[in-house]
Amino acid sequence: MSGKKLTLEIKNDPDFIELKRQKSAISLILTVIELVLYFGFIGLIAYNKPFLCTQISGAINIGIPLAVGTIFLSWILTGIYIWWANAKYDVLVKKVKDKVGGQ
C-alpha cells in the first residue's frame, strides 16, 4: 500500500477521527484550566497584593499556600493527562494501528 493511500485511510478511519476529537477536547480543557489557574494567580499578584499579604499564621500569608496550590494543581492536571493518555489514548492508537497494519 502506498504511503499516500495509507495516510488517507488513517485520516478517514472513524476511530482515528474519534482519537483526534478526544485528544483535542482533553488538551483544550486542561489547557484552559491551567491558564486560568496560572494567570489568575499572576493577576492576584499584580492587582491584589494586600489580599496575598494577609497573614494566616505567623510569617505565613495567603500568598504562600496559593502559590504552592498553583504548583500542586498543575501537577494534578499533568497526572490527569497522563492517566487519560494511558487509559484512553494509547488504546485508540493501538486500535487504529491494528486496523491499518501499523507497528
Question: Which pTM was predicted?
Answer: 0.80
Range of the domain at 89: 15-97
3 within a domain of the structure (yes/no): no
Q: What is the pLDDT of residue 87?
A: 93
Is 102 part of any domain? no
- Residue 30 falls within a domain, yes or no? yes
Q: Which of 11-15, 18-22, 64-68 has the lowest mean pLDDT?
A: 11-15
Of the pLDDT bands very low, low, confident and very high (cuts 50, 70, 90), residue 2 is: low
Encode 42-90 in three state secondary structure.
HHHHHHCHHHHCCEEECCEECHHHHHHHHHHHHHHHHHHHHHHHHHHHH
61 in any annotated domain? yes
Distance, in Å, from the CA atom of 34 to the CA atom of 32, rounded to the nearest integer, reads: 5
pLDDT tens, position by position, 48-77:
999 999 999 988 999 999 999 999 999 999
Residue 89 identity (one-letter amino acid): Y
Evaluate whether residue 9 is within a structural domain.
Answer: no
Per the domain annotation, does 28 fall within a domain? yes
